[in-house]
Structure 1
Amino acid sequence: MSTTDEQGIRSCVSCGINIAGTNAARFKCPDCGKQIYRCAKCRKQSNLYECPDCGFTGP
């Protein structure tokens, strides 16, 4: 699952929802440095995420 589509819409890497206008987190993958976006709900629930570039997983 991509964190952005062709129009540059950002989505949560865990659940895929559009994060525009939400209290989302933006951070770089600890392994490869790719920008990752997560929605507040997935962060609060500690849902796992996977980097779409290198496959790194985290809570």
Structure 2
Amino acid sequence: MSQSEQRQERQCISCGINISGMSAAKFKCPDCGHMIYRCATCRKQSNLYECPDCGFRGP
């Protein structure tokens, strides 16, 4: 997968918006290491997220 394709697929795990080109957090799931992306709004509001691979939940 090319870097431009990966960039297009980045979506906030909480609200689902496309975050390419936005100020967003990128981190690995604490349990399984799956890459998680969150938009600034969901981070600020502490919206919950769930890892699609292992089901880990966090704020």
Q: TM-score over 0.5 for the alignment? A: yes
Q: Secondary structure at the match of 1:22?
A: coil
Flag structure 1 segments of 5+ consecutive residues without an equivalent: 1-6
Runs of 4+ in 1 over 4 A off after TM superposition: none
Bigger proportion of residues as helix = 2
Larger radius of gyration: 2
Deviation at 1:25, TM superposition (A): 0.3
How far residue 58 of structure 1 moved from its aligned partner, in angstroms, is 0.2
Are residue 36 (structure 1) and residue 36 (structure 2) matched? Answer: yes
Name the TM-score, length of structure 2 as normaliser: 0.86
In structure 2, how many angstroms separate the alpha carbons of the residues matched to 1:29 and 1:20? Answer: 20
Equivalent residue of 1:47, what SS?
coil
- Partners of 1:30 and 1:15 lie apart in 2 by 20
Percent identical among aligned pairs is 75
Partner of 2:19: 19
- Alignment: residue pair count: 53
**1:52 corresponding residue in structure 2:** 52
* Structure 2 unaligned blocks of 5 or more: none
Task: Quote how far apart the aligned CAs of 1:12 are.
Answer: 0.3
TM value normalised by structure 1: 0.86
Q: Within 1, Cα distance between the matches of 2:53 and 2:12? A: 15
